């Protein structure tokens, strides 16, 4: 399924991105695992399960983990800005810290959103209960910020402060997302601001942390943050499309999951605010219980007919364009940014 | 009610501690409030309510806040170690950060423990819902660690790393506390370890942060941490006594609240593991639903007859003795430690 068929991408970029993601996972995973294994027993057990390294009973597992997009962005950003300063382990630890912070949000969001499945298996709170999942998430956030604050790299305290500020923004984004569920009308502008806070902020922070570890100056760091935010918004738009039209076999989630939950995702809000008959039909479906598969299929078709699907795909392309502009402020020869563009393009072509 | 009647305390110390707590609140509150006001709108609202600065509808309030024990310990520790280095605002900001981290744990623990009241009014989650209370807590923790990581003081990154490590310990302590509720038997040793993690760790961290801001060396910082931990355990023992015999008019909680929740608090576990008939009677009461006031009164009497009350009071005194020993490693002339001892003694004599 080519979600971004209209967006021309060099054939090699998808492969380059896949290699970068694999390499990031390979270098960051041991550091991440070491960090998680340092947690106190009860917290560790939840985290080991969440990362797919243990089964429910504590026996070893090798369940497919996340896509390592954020660690790959940290590492690629550091390389694009002249390579990491200091010991090579330092930037890998920073990448692991960012991934740990991301996974704290997943643990808490699954509780808050009442999501029962993630990465093809039951979410941690359904297995260990809400208190243990929340406390494991709390501990993971604290550990992530500690890994940065404790690091000998000269920019590590700034990176820790930046990640902490980003986490405040992530919380506000998730809170806005929850508030939108309760409201009958949400503007597209509000929805874009929410997605920027909820998703863009951490991708931006990943790029900024990479730049900090390369010894970049404040302006370059901010430009890298802006690059990550724009790419992050493109990422979220594609994620929202997958939430409606993604293949359950790929995503590990039921088809139309976001519609069943009546999520006010970006394509949905674009449709609801389109002023079309299909938009009104969607609003009527969202006002009801929407339990059956037929309702979900009708809602998906309404989003499409109201232009929500096309808009989301086109807007993801726009955001990628802005991302490239921001990147050029930090790295004048964008071609030299190597994997960064490939990574950014990759996330807008993924199907899961 | 003199919970520590057997423990001789100079008459002036209670007054000195009260003055120190008042002064800490006066200097730290504006900084704390500034920090909370910097949070994004939805998160800020929950935090402003939680701290007693706003009513549920967002109108200004001046509800009695917490006791400011942790900020007072940060400030008194910095003074005891020669006074804070750098700008005087720096250590006040550090004290505010520690208090913010403490309040993050209160917000989350109230959700996890299903507690409906705090400081004489409904808990934040009962007012704003669980998602908003959790996310406000998350944001408060991140903000606390950011305030330290961002500070120009030369020891601020170390203080941030130390507070983050402490938060991991607090989470493990709360998790153990929850696990104990589900278990039929818990040893006194396990219970003391849980209380050290859940309460001692943050009081120790407060003292360590104060020492770091005074430019103290690693050994002094560790000794101050150990002092705070021992005093913190005394604090928890008294807290547990108040949870059973505290005056609802003072505590803002119903009488025997911890017994109704069948909490395995320290005096309760001391009674349950006493090998006495009263201990068995308590175990039988804890095995049942324990709904009526009569059951609660019988349970309280059983704890007392099994020796749990006396043990907790005596052990609080022992811990205070150890605290003084630890303090003398960092401040050889303990008398010069000024308010620190007064504060430590104060928390073992409080009634709410």
Q: What is the pLDDT of residues B290-299, one digit of tens each?
A: 778 889 999 9
Interface contact A138, partner B, CB < 8 A: yes
Report how far residue B159's alpha carbon sits from residue B154's, in angstroms, rounded to the nearest whole number.
10
Q: Are A202 and A70 in contact (CB under 8 A)?
A: yes
pLDDT at A7: 35
Q: Confidence band (pLDDT; 50, 70, 90) for B66?
A: confident
Average pLDDT over residues A131-137: 97
pLDDT tens column, B92-141 = 999 999 999 999 999 999 999 998 999 889 999 999 999 999 999 999 99
A58-64, Cβ contacts within 8 angstroms, sequence gap of 24 or more: A63/A119, A63/A120, A63/A121, A64/A119, A64/A120
How far lies B205's CA from each of B67, B218, B224, B334, in Å? 17, 13, 8, 20
pLDDT in tens, A199-209: 999 999 999 99
| Contact (CB<8Å) B141/A139 | no
DSSP secondary structure string, A222-290? HHHHHHHHHHHHHHHHHHHHHHHH--HHHHSS-TTHHHHTT---HHHHHHHTS-SHHHHHHHHHHHS--
A66-70, A121-125, A314-318, range with the lowest pLDDT: A66-70
Tell me the C-alpha distance between A235 and A163, whole Å: 20
Contacts of residue A177 in chain B, CB cutoff 8 Å? none
Give CA–CA dist B219/B208, Å, rounded. 10
Please check whether residue A308 is in contact with residue A195, taking contact to mean a CB–CB distance below 8 angstroms: no
pLDDT in tens, A161-183: 999 999 999 999 999 999 988 88
* Torsion sign over Cα B256, B259, B265, B270: positive
Rounded CA separation A224/A229 (Å): 9
Provide the pLDDT confidence category of residue A8 given band limits of 50, 70 and 90.
Answer: very low
Contact B130 A141 (CB under 8 A): no
Q: Please, which pLDDT band fits residue A184 given cuts at 50, 70 and 90? A: confident
Residue the block writes with tokens 């917290």: A43
Nearest CB to A149: which of B42, B161, B178?
B161
Q: Hey, what domains does chain B have and what are their CATH numbers?
A: 11-56+63-347 (1.10.600.10)
Q: Which residue has the tokens 């999501």?
A: A115
**Nearest-CA neighbor of B50 among B135, B126, B107?**
B107
Which of residues A263 and A322 earns the better pLDDT score?
A322
Tally A–B CB contacts below 8 A. 150
Strands B121-122 and B117-118: antiparallel
**Residue range A89-105: average pLDDT?**
97
Structure confidence at residue A5 (pLDDT): 35
Beta-bridge mates of residue A122: A117
> In terms of pLDDT, which residue wins out, A51 or B336?
A51
- Decide if A132 and B39 are in contact by the 8 Å CB cutoff: no
> Chain A within 8 Å of B181 (Cβ-Cβ)?
no
A236, pLDDT greater than 50: yes
Between A229-238, B164-173, B330-339, the lowest mean confidence (pLDDT) is in B330-339
Q: Determine whether the interchain pair B172/A42 forms a contact, defined as Cβ–Cβ distance below 8 Å.
A: yes
Question: Mapping DSSP to helix (H, G, I), strand (E, B) and coil, where does residue A57 land?
Answer: coil
**A61: Cβ contacts below 8 Å, ≥ 6 apart:** A52, A53, A54, A55
Check if A174 contacts B (Cβ < 8 Å).
yes
């Amino acid at each position: 399924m080519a979600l971004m068929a209209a967006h021309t991408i060099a054939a090699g970029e998808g492969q380059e991105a896949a290699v970068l993601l694999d390499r990031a996972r390979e270098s960051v995973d041991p550091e991440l695992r070491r960090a998680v294994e340092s947690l106190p027993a009860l917290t560790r057990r939840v985290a080991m399960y969440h990362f797919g390294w243990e089964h429910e009973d504590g026996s070893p597992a090798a369940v497919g983990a996340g896509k390592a997009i954020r660690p790959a962005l940290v590492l690629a950003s550091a390389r694009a800005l002249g390579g990491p300063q200091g010991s090579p382990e330092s930037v890998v630890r920073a990448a692991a810290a960012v991934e740990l912070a991301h996974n704290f949000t997943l643990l808490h969001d699954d509780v808050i959103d009442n999501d029962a499945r993630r990465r093809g298996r039951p979410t941690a709170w359904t297995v260990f209960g809400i208190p243990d999942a929340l406390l494991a998430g709390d501990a993971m956030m604290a550990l992530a910020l500690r890994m940065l604050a404790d690091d000998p790299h000269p920019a590590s305290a700034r990176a820790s402060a930046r990640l902490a500020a980003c986490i405040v923004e992530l919380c506000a984004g998730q809170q806005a997302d929850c508030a939108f569920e309760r409201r009958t009308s949400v503007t597209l502008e509000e929805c874009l601001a929410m997605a920027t806070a909820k998703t863009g902020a951490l991708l931006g922070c990943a790029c900024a942390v990479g730049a900090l570890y390369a010894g970049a100056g404040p302006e370059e760091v901010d430009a890298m943050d802006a690059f990550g935010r724009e790419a992050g918004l493109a990422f979220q738009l594609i994620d929202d499309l997958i939430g409606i039209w993604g293949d359950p076999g790929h995503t590990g989630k039921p088809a139309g999951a976001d519609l069943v939950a009546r999520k006010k995702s970006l394509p949905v809000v674009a449709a609801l605010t389109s002023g079309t008959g299909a938009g009104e039909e969607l609003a009527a479906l969202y006002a009801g219980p929407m339990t059956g598969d037929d309702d979900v299929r009708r809602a998906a078709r309404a989003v499409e007919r109201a232009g929500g699907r096309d808009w989301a795909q086109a807007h993801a392309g726009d955001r990628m364009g802005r991302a490239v502009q921001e990147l050029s402020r930090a790295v004048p020869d964008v071609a030299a940014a190597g994997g960064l563009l490939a990574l950014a393009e990759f996330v807008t072509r993924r199907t899961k």
